[in-house]
A and B are shown apart, each in its own frame.
Chain A
Amino acid sequence: AQTVTQSQPEMSVQEAETVTLSCTYDTSESNYYLFWYKQPPSRQMILVIRQEAYKQQNATENRFSVNFQKAAKSFSLKISDSQLGDTAMYFCALQYSGGGADGLTFGKGTHLIIQP
């Protein structure tokens, strides 16, 4: 079974700063996807960014980028020019490509607070 670990329960930064959220995972599979989801107070789970394990190039979506280190099984999220609307719970998740017995495996989450 795979596991996902987020070691930072809570982080707080000032608006416009850059922040990095950490995620490590463990899996014996070679074909999988990694995701970062955002869950604001509305509880709606929103996909922020995804990375295919077979791709060496790090994914980027506007202010959001990842640092994917496959050998180290690390998948961190960098948010540049942070905004008040980025305040939310952030979950790192893993899924085997093609589907697997455990669906999406989530970390415990990091509560990110952007201070004005």
Chain B
Amino acid sequence: KAGVTQTPRYLIKTRGQQVTLSCSPISGHRSVSWYQQTPGQGLQFLFEYFSETQRNKGNFPGRFSGRQFSNSRSEMNVSTLELGDSALYLCASSAIPGSREQYFGPGTRLTVT
């Protein structure tokens, strides 16, 4: 069974631009969660999608948004990028929300200059 895939793996953007990151969950998994990892703040929950609906959202500004498609693939979008958005963005896949089995993708390293 293929694991969680995230594309692209690395990305360099300029302040003010927007970016879209993609996450494909494990086949059969319908829940996707996104996390931001920075040296200062650690790992922080962004949002969770299940069956194309956002179930929960962490404490992030409205510039951070996401969606989920009917095949469970999810995208997250960050508009008007700021230097502080530089981070590793991880997505986690599970069959259902709150599952005891969550599997992470390799992450997308975003650098904002």
Interface residues of A (CB under 8 A from B): 33, 35, 37, 42-47, 50, 52, 91, 93, 95-109
**Residue numbers in A under 8 Å from B92 (CB-CB):** 45, 103-104
Chosen A-B contacts, 25 in total, with CB atoms closer than 8 Å, are: A33-B100, A35-B102, A37-B104, A42-B106, A43-B88, A43-B107, A43-B109, A44-B106, A44-B107, A45-B92, A47-B101, A50-B100, A96-B98, A99-B31, A99-B55, A99-B97, A102-B56, A102-B58, A103-B33, A103-B45, A103-B58, A104-B33, A106-B43, A108-B42, A109-B42
- Interface residues of B, count at CB 8 A: 25
Chain B hits for A35, CB < 8 A: 102
Complex: chain B residue closest to A37, CB-CB: B104
The answer to whether B56 touches A100, judged by C-beta atoms less than 8 angstroms apart, is yes
Knowing A44-B107, A99-B48, A99-B97, say if A104 contacts B102 (CB, 8 Å).
Answer: yes
A interface footprint on B30-50 (CB within 8 Å = 1, 0 otherwise): 010101000000110100101
